[in-house]
Amino acid sequence: MIYQKYITGKWDKGSAAGVGQNRHWGAKFTPKKPIRSFRDLEVYQKTLECSVLIDKDIVPALEKVKDSRVEELSKNAMAIPLYISEGHSLRFADFGLALGYIEKALSGCNRVSVYLDHIKGTYGDKVKADLIEDLINRYTLVRGKIFRLEQSWKKFMKTDLEMGQNTIQKKR
């Protein structure tokens, strides 16, 4: 699957496997880099990149046409990486709250996509329609990755709880 990536005013082709990854059979396997902080999470990096593109390229175009949604769009785009970072920080202290933040990040992706769809439909040629479409696709892809991150955390916590109960039972 090919998607387009916006880099400094030029469109560059990339693969859906991600930067530095490939899907060729027989290719050398390299393990993923361990996650030491929220900044290592791909979903954080991708959503932060999208929010920067929105603030750098979409917001100025909206300010030219005097659109009232400029601040809302910018805040909602920035909220997604914030929710991911907060959820990552709370995942061991208050797992339910951490999942709540991840759910907010999921809904934030949808919210920003709706804003971008509406802006594209309203202004068309006055804004960068190709960039907006690319951002919508990016938010759609990253939303799936956030969902899989949430499922992974649930699986990890379930396994962790089961191991903890087995340890308690062995002590008795």
Closest CA to 116 of 144, 74, 63: 74
- pLDDT value at position 124? 84
In a domain? residue 7: no
In a domain? residue 28: no
Tens of pLDDT, residue by residue over 4-35, are 444 445 445 444 445 555 555 566 767 777 77
In a domain? residue 18: no
In a domain? residue 35: no
In a domain? residue 116: yes
Which pTM does this prediction carry? 0.74
Number of domains into which the chain is organized? 1
In a domain? residue 109: yes
Domain ranges, residue 152: 42-171
In a domain? residue 159: yes
In a domain? residue 100: yes
Q: Which two tokens stand for residue 5?
A: 């990536």
Q: Alpha-carbon Rg of the chain, whole angstroms?
A: 19
Q: Which two tokens stand for residue 23?
A: 């899907």
Tens of pLDDT, residue by residue over 33-89, are 777 888 889 999 999 999 999 999 999 999 999 988 899 999 999 999 999 999 999
Residues 105-118, mean pLDDT to the nearest whole number: 96
Where residue 54 sits, what CATH number does that domain have? Answer: 1.20.1440.60
Angle between helix 129-171 and helix 42-53 axes, rounded to 10 deg: 150
Give Cβ neighbours of residue 123 (< 8 Å, ≥ 6 apart): 61, 62, 65, 67
- pLDDT value at position 156? 83
